[in-house]
Structure formats: structure tokens, C-alpha cells
Structure 1
Amino acid sequence: MTVDRSDPRSAGDGTAIPFGSSSSSFSDYLRQHAPHLLPESGIAADLASHTANGGSDKSGIAPHGTTIVALTYAGGVLIAGDRRATQGNLIANRDMQKVYVTDDYSAAGIAGTAGIAIELVRLFAVELEHYEKIEGVPLTFNGKANKLSSMVRSNLGAAMQGLAAVPLLVGFDIDISDPDRAGRIVSYDVVGGRYEERSGYHAVGSGSLFAKSALKKLYRPGMTEEEAIRAAVESLYDAADDDSATGGPDVTRGIYPTAVAITSVGADDVAHDRISAAARSVLAERTESAAHSGGAEHHTRAGQQVSEGGSAP
């Protein structure tokens, strides 16, 4: 078969998508011309097949990823995530990527059903790029937050059957003149509700309760980027300490959290060396603290034995 390479609409398999688009939404364009390529169409078919074969609990058929934290700092915003994915009582993946740059001034972290959440964020990044190409200007941060909200809502059917995907969106709002106030954090629920987090920090995922408790004590307005990285790593450490689905720093394998920092210059992945240094610092501090507390407990018990007429070990 001869394919006309001069015509971008031609395809040898007969599945070409009509060239050109008047819609600024890539999802709407696919929904009109190739709905089978949308993630939700495949998910719906798979769920229907699973149900037909007698399956009821879908939550255990795919890996789940947790935990994501975000916090603002002087001149920017940071988002970080652990690396563990679980499937039931098993560790499905130890070095999963959960934080993604979605455009020049935004990034998203994922929690929930890993495959669905990753596909959601990747499609979101394509949406932002498509909009800018069609309209000639980037989407505002509020527009990005609203767009992601509608995409989360489109997964409601799967979420109702246990396959939820909940992102955490952060960005640097270039429309705000003060860079110290331009860092923004937006959270979502499974039905697509969006919530602006104005406390300066937030966390999602199974370990979010412990991570937020840590951030409540560690966070302070105006902290530096290095301090924000340290606080994010320490909060993930605390989450992993109490939540088995969250992975802490793995020094043996060299696996540490990943993070994205966004400033007026743009969004960029935080270097592995910076995160590993922060993680090692946290581990050293906690090890020293545990050693001191253990020693103090030993001396207290020894003193109690002596006072009761016993002998110290």
C-alpha cells in the first residue's frame, strides 16, 4: 500500500484523525474524531469486562500511588512525592514517578490508581500545549485548574468503582505581580471539585494525614527553596513512618522522593543530589534523636532500679 506522505491526514492503517482543529480542547477534539483514543473509553470497557467476569472489587487490580506534598516558599512553589506504588498488601513499584511538569509554570502530582492518574496528568499536559498552539497564548492558572477539574470529573465512573485518581496541582501565577504570593496550590476530590489551598501547604494520598501534620510544624511563610525541599522530604519521611503505602528514603537502593520547583523562571525538576542530601540529613537527625532518646530511657530505667534497691545493668 502506498501512503501519501505529503498529506498529513493520510495513514496506512485507515485510522487517520482529520487534520486541523478549531477547538482549543484536545480532549474535545478526540471525543469528536477519535473517541476510542480517550483514556476513559478504554477504562470503561475494561471495567465492564471485569464486572462481566464476576469481578466486584476493582481497587486491587492496579497499583496505587501515594503520597504527594506541596508547599509555597519565597518566590515559588514546590511539589514532591514518594516513590512507592502498592497493590493490595504488596509493593508493586519502588521507584515510581509521581510528580510531573505539565507546562512552563505548572506541575502536578498523582495519588490513587497509578495508571489512570499518570494518563490523566499526561493528557492534561497535552491539553495545555494544544490550547497554547491554538489560541496563541498560554492558559491562565485558573484556567488550568478548571481544566484539570473537568478531567478528574470525567473519571467519576471509574472512581465510583474503586479506581480513583486524585491529582494535586501547583503553579506559579505569572499574572500576580508579587513573586512571593504567586505560588499556588490546588487540590481536588474524586468528583472534580477544586479547592485553593491558602495555608501554604497541602498533601494528598494515603499518607497525607501524617504528611500534613508534619508540614503544620515545619512550614513557615517565606522559607527558602532549600528549606522547602527539606520540609517536603521530612514530611514524606513522617508519612512513610506511619503509612505502609508510602515509601521513605531508600539509601540502600539510592531511591529518594522526586520534586519539582516552580519560580518566575519556570518549572524544573529538583536535582537528585539536592533531594538525596536533604533525605540523608533527615535520616541522620532522626537517627541521632532516636539514639539520644533511647539512651535517656535507659538511664531513667537504671535510676529507677537503683532507687528501688536494684542494680543498674
Structure 2
Amino acid sequence: MAPTWDVPSMASSAGVPDAPEGTTVLAVRTTDGVVMAGDRRATAGNIIAHRRVQKVYSADDFSAVAISGTAGLAVELIKLFQTELEHYEKLEGTRLSLEGKANHLASMVRNQLPLAFQGLVVIPLFSGYDERASTGHLYTYDVVGGRYEEQDYATTGSGGMEASAFLKGVYRDDLTTEEAVRFGIEGLVAAAEEDTATGGPDLRRGIYPTVVTVTASGFREIPEEEVASLAAEVVEGRP
């Protein structure tokens, strides 16, 4: 694939900047495909650096990718990933297979290992709808580019443990997309209650999680007004 992402050598590790970091994202497999959700907060140390960061993106028409870690580098990686998938499709006249996309993202994460040694870590979460198998798949990654397919749900970021604990309690094999959208929001709220780096729905400022679905119909971002309504119900229903 044509574009490349150059990273510095591991020798230049002095003076690592206190860069903003994205926090909690999650993905849930459903009977129709997958749902992904992410909070909007980015932190720099113990400071809230940004309140409206986009962390969940379309990779192409039938896949989505979410970011955690160093926000600026993560966004750059995702933009390059999107460009390379588009480049492949134009050259080959067909989309790369879902597993091929997951593997290519793994190689991109592996290529930024020198930055990870400097404390600038990017950990994505990838999911999509396999048009050949008519089912959703989701993948997690580690810092060295290891790629792992998850069967039910996945989380990453500073609030990932809390979000995972919530999803473990509500997940079912017959989960619908509508149910998973609500559970995704609830998982982020649960994470925000325990992890200060995760931003829950902010009803006063009008800041809500990003929630997307990937099904046989393709990628779709849930409209903000719909997410806002569900988020208000979730927040008001918390004990």
C-alpha cells in the first residue's frame, strides 16, 4: 500500500512531550454486526486537555476503528489507514477482506513501536462486517502490533477494565444492535464513574459519546440527538 508513516528511531527518546491522550473505547458484537462507542475526553497528565475528541471513525464502508493512547498520533494513524484502504480498493477494484484490514492495521501499530518506547503509545480497536460470512468481527491490539480477535466484546483505554466489567454482566449471544447501542453508552458511563480520564455524557455542555454501528447495510454513526436521549436516560437511571 502506497502511503507510509515515518517514525523516529528509538535513540531519540529524550524530552517526551506531555501529549493529550484519548481514553475509553469499546466494541460489542451483535446479531446484526458490531457496535462501537467512545467517550470524548482527552487528558494530559491530570488535566482535561480536550472535551470533544472524536475517537471512533469509519475505516471504510464496512469497518470502523476506534483509538486510545496518544491522541494526535492515533488520529494520524487512522487517517493513513483510511487512505491506504481507499488506495487498495482503487488499485484492485475490490475491498480488502476484513481480516486483511485487521492484519494491515496490526502492521501499522507495529511500525510505531519506536514511538511507544518513548511513551507515545497508540492502541486501536477495530471492527467490521464480513460481507462473505455475513457476520460481525472485532479485534484488539497490543503495543507491539499483536492482533487478537474477540468473540463477544472488547474495550481499551484507561477505563477499559470498568467498561469490560459492565459489558460482561449484560452481554448475550442474541444481543440486538439497539440493545448494544444502549449498553455501549452504559459501559462508558460505568467507566467514567471510576476513571477520571474517561468522560461520561455531559448533559449541561451537550457532550455525548460517539456511537457507530457496522452491519450488512454498512457503517452508520448514530445521530447525536438519539445518543443524547439515550445518554440522558442512562444517567438519570443510575443509582
> Shorter-chain-normalised TM-score: which range?
over 0.9
Matches of 1:229 and 1:274, distance apart in 2: 10
Question: In structure 2, the residue corresponding to 1:26 is in which secondary structure?
Answer: coil
- Which whole-Å deviations, capped at 9, do the CAs of 1:168-198 have from their partners, x for residues lacking one? 000000110xx4xx11100000000000001
Unaligned runs of 5+ in 2: none
Equivalent runs, 1:40-79 vs 2, <5 Å: 40-41=6-7, 44=8, 48=12, 51=14, 55=15, 58=16, 61-79=18-36
Aligned to 2:146: 193
**Alpha-carbon shift at residue 149 of structure 1 (Å):** 0.4
Equivalent runs, 1:11-30 vs 2, <5 Å: 25-27=1-3, 30=4
Whether 1:175 aligns to 2:136 is: no
RMSD: 1.5
Q: Moved runs in structure 1, 4+ residues, more than 2 A?
A: none
TM-score (normalizing by structure 1): 0.74
- Which whole-Å deviations, capped at 9, do the CAs of 1:106-137 have from their partners, x for residues lacking one? 00000000011111111001110000111111
**Alpha-carbon shift at residue 284 of structure 1 (Å):** 1.4
The structure, 1 or 2, with the larger RCO (C-alpha pairs under 8 Å, 6+ apart) is 2
Aligned to 1:165: 122
Unaligned runs of 5+ in 1: 1-24, 31-37, 290-313
Aligned to 1:242: 194
Matches of 2:202 and 2:59, distance apart in 1: 27
User: Identity rate of aligned residues, in percent?
Assistant: 48
More helix by percentage: 1
More strand by percentage: 2
Matches of 2:208 and 2:178, distance apart in 1: 16
Select the structure of larger CA radius of gyration: 1
Contact 1:84–1:245 (CA<8 Å) still a contact in 2? yes
Question: In structure 2, the residue corresponding to 1:95 is in which secondary structure?
Answer: coil
Equivalent runs, 1:257-276 vs 2, <5 Å: 257-276=209-228
Aligned to 1:307: none
Aligned to 2:162: 210
Question: In structure 1, the residue corresponding to 2:220 is in which secondary structure?
Answer: strand
Contact 1:80–1:99 (CA<8 Å) still a contact in 2? yes
Amino acid in structure 1 at the alignment position of 2:92: E
TM-score (normalizing by structure 2): 0.96
Matches of 1:216 and 1:101, distance apart in 2: 26
**Alpha-carbon shift at residue 273 of structure 1 (Å):** 1.6
